[in-house]
A and B are shown apart, each in its own frame.
Chain A
Amino acid sequence: MVTEILGIIIAALLSQNFILVKFYGICPFMGVSKKIDTALGMGMAVTFVMALASAACWAVNWLLVKLNITYMQTVAFILVIATLVQVVEMFLKKSIPALYKALGVFLPLITTNCAVLGVVLVNVQNNYNFLLSVLNGAAGGLGFTLAIVLFASVRERVNKADCPECFKGFPIALIAAGLLALAFMGFSGLSIS
């Protein structure tokens, strides 16, 4: 059990990093990585929602299996995630305004973040139990945060670089992300078993 838990954490953070290895959540990765502090805010919001969504969708999936309608998974999960994001937003606004202020802008964006739906689908495919699902969600979110914060700090420098006209903006940022992915490839052999 302990090795399994450690294995999931290491995979989600480094060797199977959600962004740089598995390509979940590239849109916010490119869109919200212009400044380090906004990147950190986005990362925290995503981690929070991913852990919650993993828990909620584990329960929903249990129900779907019981009712024998697992073909409704995609529809059910996306609706659960959309509702969850809305509920979290309202809850934070009411009871933890400080956290809401920090995450506020990013919360609505998370519904269409493939990292959240992705982690839920991966949990179901791997038949993780409740504890491992939540753990995978939280660790995956931390991996997301790690990648987006690293990338934001690289990007602040890259934007000032002098490069050919047609590479300005996104192309050069993608190439920088490629180099970051190359660095993360170094972790690919890492596993605990």
Chain B
Amino acid sequence: MNFKKQFNEGLLTKNPVTVQLLGMCSTLAITTSLFNGIGMGLSVTIILICSNMLISALRKVIPNQIRIAAYITIIAGFVTVVDLVLQAFIPALSENLGVFIPLIVVNCIVLGRAEAFASKNGVLASAVDGLCQGIGYTVALVIMCVIRELLGSGTFGGGLLNGGEGIRIIPAQFPAMQMVMPVGGFLVLGFVIAGSQWLMQHLEKKNKKKEAAK
């Protein structure tokens, strides 16, 4: 098992958001404050690890023809658990994320990993895969949140730091409200994906130079 490679894939080269372009509904909709981003990221990570493990454990029992239906049912079960736990213990997060918590069921990342990885690999490897992909998703969400919150409300760490108000960086009269509205979601995601593509092209060039020097 190659943990470092899996981690690297989840975080950069096969990042679920910026490279595989999966689960964009939640990425665009809830990244308006750091609190939402981290909460959503962790919820998806937990669901990914659990569903990956269970699906991997059951991979020889589930008949091939109805596998998608079986996966969706398993995922929906875990999503319901997380939904109820959040409602009971972190009601503020549950209220902010609203319908996007139950919508994790149809988040392509979870079903995608079930089909592409968990159905072919062992339980432990699948758990690691879920963790790595989940971290990649969370990091992408957090980057989106930080940019949108800074430009849109002028704060950092909204919902978490400074008693929930966030630390003010730009004076209240300057921020562009549009950045925390739908428009900002599309624009910022466009720039984040462009940034990650640039970074990967840059790294590839560097590697080639290194090899050429050898």
What residues make up the interface of A, taking CB atoms closer than 8 Å to B? 20-27, 30, 71-75, 78-79, 82, 111-114, 117-118, 121-122, 125, 164-167, 170-175, 177-179, 181-182, 184-185
Contacts and interface: CB of A to CB of B under 8 A. Distances in A.
A21 B111 CA distance: 25
Consensus secondary structure, chain A interface: helix
Given A20-B182, A114-B106, A121-B103, A174 B189 contact: yes
Given A74-B79, A117-B106, A171 B73 contact: no
Interface string B176-205: 001001111111011101110110010000
B21 interface: yes
Contacts of A117: 102-103, 105-106
A26 B111 contact: no
A74 B47 CA distance: 14
A75 B73 contact: yes
Interface string B4-45: 000000000000000001101110110000000000000000
B191 A171 contact: yes
B96 interface: no
Contacts of B121: none
Contacts of A113: 106
B1 to A, nearest CB: 29
Interface of B: 21-22, 24-26, 28-29, 68-69, 72-73, 76-77, 79-80, 83-84, 99, 102-103, 105-108, 111, 178, 181-187, 189-191, 193-195, 197-198, 201
Nearest to A76: B76
Given A73-B102, A78-B105, A185-B181, 10 more contacts: A23-B29, A30-B21, A71-B84, A75-B77, A78-B72, A79-B73, A171-B191, A181-B182, A181-B183, A182-B178
A25 B25 contact: yes
B22 A178 contact: no
B108 A171 contact: no
A166 B197 contact: yes
A75 B80 contact: yes
Contacts of A122: 99
Given A74-B76, A82-B69, A170-B193, A24 B182 contact: no
B25 A26 contact: yes
B190 A175 contact: yes
